[in-house]
């Protein structure tokens, strides 16, 4: 194993003045993949319940936010901690080629999964060539 495989990576904390909720806000790690039919996005949001997630698309801006309930941490005095608890916020510019009416979202084991289907006009198509 190389030393890089064992290095700890800290969560990226949101440091801009856009916070609207009390407490710390982190930028969730994401993976984005493209298929012929859709864009797929996976966002890590551990500790977030599906009822406290907001996914909004307005003016070409996709906003993901999730709130972590801090009640279970209220009376704890940690001896050692590496897991930072806080809310999540991430924004993406979305191309006009996305069919916004068919976007789906689901939460599975702390991972938000979004499918952003492409509009028919953005999908690759074969154009037939005729002879004259």
**Domain coordinates in residue numbering, the chain:** 25-119
Per-position DSSP letters for the chain, written without gaps between them: --GGGG------B--STT--SSS-EE---EEEEE-SSEEEEEEE-TTEEEEEEEEEEETTEEEEEEEE--GGGTT---SS------EEEEEEE--TTB-GGG-EEEEETTEEEEEEEBPGGGS---------
pLDDT at residue 36 in the model: 87
How many angstroms separate the Cα of 93 from the Cα of each of 4, 23, 25, 90, 102? 32, 26, 20, 11, 17
* Whether the predicted pLDDT of 113 surpasses 90: yes
Q: What is the pLDDT of residue 131?
A: 86
On average, the pLDDT of the chain sits at: 82
According to the model, what pLDDT value does residue 2 have?
A: 46
| Entry pTM | 0.73
Supply the pLDDT for residue 31: 94
> CB count, 10 Å around CB of 115?
15
pLDDT in tens, 56-98: 999 889 999 998 887 777 787 878 777 777 899 999 998 888 9
CATH topology for 25-119 is Immunoglobulin-like (2.60.40)
Q: pLDDT band for position 1 (50/70/90)?
A: very low
């Amino acid at each position: 194993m190389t030393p890089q495989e064992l290095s700890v990576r800290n969560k990226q904390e949101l440091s801009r003045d856009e916070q609207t909720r009390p407490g710390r806000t982190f930028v969730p790690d994401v993976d984005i993949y493209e298929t012929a039919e859709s864009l797929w996005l996976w966002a890590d949001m551990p500790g977030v319940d599906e009822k406290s997630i907001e996914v909004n698309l307005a003016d070409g801006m996709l906003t993901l936010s999730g709130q972590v309930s801090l009640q279970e941490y209220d009376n704890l005095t940690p001896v050692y901690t590496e897991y930072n608890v806080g809310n999540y916020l991430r924004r993406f510019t979305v191309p006009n080629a996305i069919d916004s009416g068919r976007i789906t979202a689901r939460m599975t084991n702390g991972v938000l999964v979004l499918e952003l289907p492409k509009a028919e006009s953005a999908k690759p198509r074969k154009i037939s060539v005729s002879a004259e």
